[in-house]
Amino acid sequence: MSGLQLAHRLALAAIVNGLRDGGEISERTIQAIGARLRAATAVSDDYGHRDTSDALRHLAEAIEKGENGK
């Protein structure tokens, strides 16, 4: 597996943003999700999937900013 498909990025961002909009998760939780996504890059880097790591970092940034992950 390499990279993250657009459909996956959009779906994950939509879920987090929906929870944010509904008041179900705090900014602290959103920051924690971003941190976990960045931490997951250690695994994809170990497997040599740099594009997956880049996609995870991009998704973390998008989620933290409230963007759609595109």
Residue 34, CA distances (Å) to 17, 19, 48 in order: 13, 15, 21
Domain range annotation of the chain: 6-65
- The closest alpha carbon to 58, from 18, 12, 24, belongs to 12
pLDDT digits (tens, 9 = 90+) for 26-52: 999 999 999 999 999 999 999 999 999
End-to-end CA distance of the chain: 19
φ, ψ for residue 54 (rounded to 5)? -60, -40
What pLDDT shows up at residue 2?
A: 53
| pTM of the full structure | 0.86
Residue 68 and residue 14 in contact, taking contact as beta carbons nearer than 8 Å: yes
**Type of residue numbered 23:** G
